[in-house]
Amino acid sequence: MAGLTPFQTLGPFFDFGLVIPDGGIVARPGARGRRIVIEGVVRDGAGDALPDALVEIWQANDAGKYRHPADEQDRALDPALDGFGRVATDTCGRFNFKTVVPGRVPGLDGRLQAPHLAVGVLARGLLTRLVTRMYFEDEPSNAEDPILALVPTERRSTLLAKSMAPDHYRFDIRLQGEGETVFFDV
Amino acid sequence: MKYARPPAGTHPPNDSPGYKSTTLRHPKEPLVVIPHTLSELTGPVYPYGRIEADDNDLTRQHPGDPLGERIIVQGRVLDEDGRPIPRTLVEIWQANAAGRYAHRVDDHPAPLDPNFSGAGRTLTDDEGRYRFVTIRPGAYPWRNHPNAWRPAHIHFSLFGTSFLSRLITQMYFPGDPLMPIDPVLNSIPDERARQRLVSKFDIDATEPEWALGFTFDIMLRGSDATPMET
C-alpha cells in the first residue's frame, strides 16, 4: 500500500469501545512525585460543553523519564506510572486525571523543558485529533520553555493549568472562540 | 523514527462545512508548528487495559450468536516504510447489523441485539497483522442534513510507535452506494486517500461456509528515512 491512512471522526457513540476503566488514574498507588488532580471542561465555539469528547494525556514520570524505547536517558522508570491517561467527558463536558507532576524532559538542544503533559482531544465533530500541551501556571521554568516560547505571548495562558487548591489544577479546553486553546501542528 | 508532516489532502480539514458538527468545534486560530521533542517522539506504545482471549471476536461476547452477516476483518498495521508494527493495540467499535449502536444516546429506531455489544480490541502479531471476527454493520440515519445516512463502517483506534502516530479512523466496505454522498468520508480532500479507507473483499481471508473476509491495511506515521519536510 502507498500512503498514510486518513483520519476520521470518533463519532458520538465511542465510549463503549474506547473508555478504559479507571482511565483517568495515571499514577497508581506508590507512584513517585507530587500527586495532583487535573480537572477541566471541553467547550465549543459557542461556549457549550462537549458531552462527547475524549481526552488523552501522555507524560513523563517524576524523574522526567518516558516509558518508551525512544527515551534513552539514564533515569529510572516508575513501576506505578506508565504515563498514559484516557477519559471521556461526562454529560457536563468534564474530565479529570489523577497523576503526578511530570519531571522536566530535554528539548531539542538538550535544554530542559518545563513540566508538561502532551494532550490529545478527540470528539464528534472533530475530524482529526487536536494536539496541545498542559503546563502548570505556578512553575517558574515555564519562562525558559522552548515550546511555550513559540506560542504568541497573549495566547500562552491557554496552555497553563490554574492552581485551584493545593495539588489541584484546572485545565479547560476551548476548541474555538474566546480563549481558544492553542493547538499544535506536530 | 522520524515523523514527516502528512502530505496535503491526506487528512480532513477540521473545518469541513459538509459535516455540520465541525462548525463550532474546529479551531479558528492557526495551529502552532512545534518541533518533535522527546514528548512527541515517545507515546503510549504498550497495551492498556487487559486484553481477553475473545476480545477480537465480537460474535462470541454473549451467550448467543448475534444477528447479521458474520465477517472477518483483517489486515496489517505498517509504518511509512511499509514495515510492520508489531504488538500494537488495535481497537474497534461499530453498530450492529441493523445499524444501531449499543449506546445510550443512539435513538435510531432499529433493534438492539442482546448478543452484540460491538467493541473489540487486539494486539498485532510479530508481522503487524490483526484479525477480528464480527458482524457486518448496518447503515444508519443521522441528522446532518435531510435524509442523511452513514455508509456502513467500523471505527478503528490505533497508537503506533509514538504520540505522533495516533490514529482514529473509519473503515468502509467496497461498493457501498452511500460512500459518494457521505460528508464524513468526503471530508478527505485526496480521492486516493479516501480509497485507502475502503476495505477490500478478500477471498483468501474468507473462510469457506462460514464468513466473508475483508482486508484493511493501515499505515501510520513514522519512518526511518529522512523526512522530506515541506
* CATH number, residue A109: 2.60.130.10
Task: Give the residue numbers spanning the domain of A69.
Answer: 15-172
Q: Domain for residue A179, yes or no?
A: no
Residue contacts between A and B (CB atoms, under 8 Å)? 228
Nearest CB partner across the interface for B44, out of A16, A58, A151: A58
Query: pTM here?
Result: 0.97
CB environment A142-159: b (16+ within 10 A), e (fewer) = beebbbbeebeeeebebb
Interchain proximity A7–B185, CB inside 8 Å: no
Nearest CB partner across the interface for A186, out of B36, B48, B194: B36
Active site residue B62: no
The reply to whether B33 touches chain A by the CB within 8 Å rule is: yes
Q: Which three cell numbers stand for residue A149?
A: 516560547
Active site residue B140: yes
Mean pLDDT throughout A70-98? Answer: 97
Q: Indicate the SS3 state at residue A72.
A: coil
pLDDT at position A72? 96
pLDDT value at A110 more than 90? no
Least confident of A98-107, A125-134, B99-108, B148-157: B99-108
Mean pLDDT throughout A157-172? Answer: 97
DSSP B176: -
pLDDT in tens, B52-108: 878 999 999 999 999 999 999 999 999 999 999 999 999 999 999 999 999 989 999
What is the tally of structural domains in chain A?
1
Q: Indicate the SS3 state at residue B35.
A: coil
pLDDT at position B12? 98
Task: Calculate the CA A149 to chain-centre distance.
Answer: 18
pLDDT in tens, B124-144: 999 999 999 999 999 999 999
pLDDT-derived band at B230 (thresholds 50, 70, 90) equals very low
CA distance, residue A159 to nearest chain B CA (Å): 12
DSSP A25: B
Complex ipTM more than 0.85, yes or no: yes
User: Which one of B100, B121, B150, B194 is the catalytic residue?
Assistant: B150
Looking from the CA of B177 toward its CB, the CA atoms found within 13 Å total 0
Q: What is the mean pLDDT of chain B?
A: 95
Mean pLDDT throughout A133-141? Answer: 98
Interchain proximity A6–B12, CB inside 8 Å: yes
| Spatial separation of the C-alpha atoms in residues A83 and A119, rounded to whole Å | 12
Looking at the structure, give the CATH architecture of the domain made up of residues B54-219.
Sandwich (2.60)
Q: What angle do CA B176, B104, B59 make, to 5 degrees?
A: 55
Q: Please give the helix or strand (H or E) that residue B78 lies within, else none.
A: strand B70-78
pLDDT at position B48? 66
Chain A, nearest residue to B190 by Cα: A6
pLDDT-derived band at A182 (thresholds 50, 70, 90) equals very high
- A-facing residues of B in 51-110 (CB < 8 A) are 78, 80, 82, 91-93, 95, 101-103, 105-106
Q: Domain for residue A100, yes or no?
A: yes
pLDDT at position A108? 87
Active site residue B36: no
The reply to whether B12 touches chain A by the CB within 8 Å rule is: yes
Mean pLDDT throughout A134-163? Answer: 97
pLDDT in tens, B168-199: 999 999 999 999 999 999 999 999 999 999 99
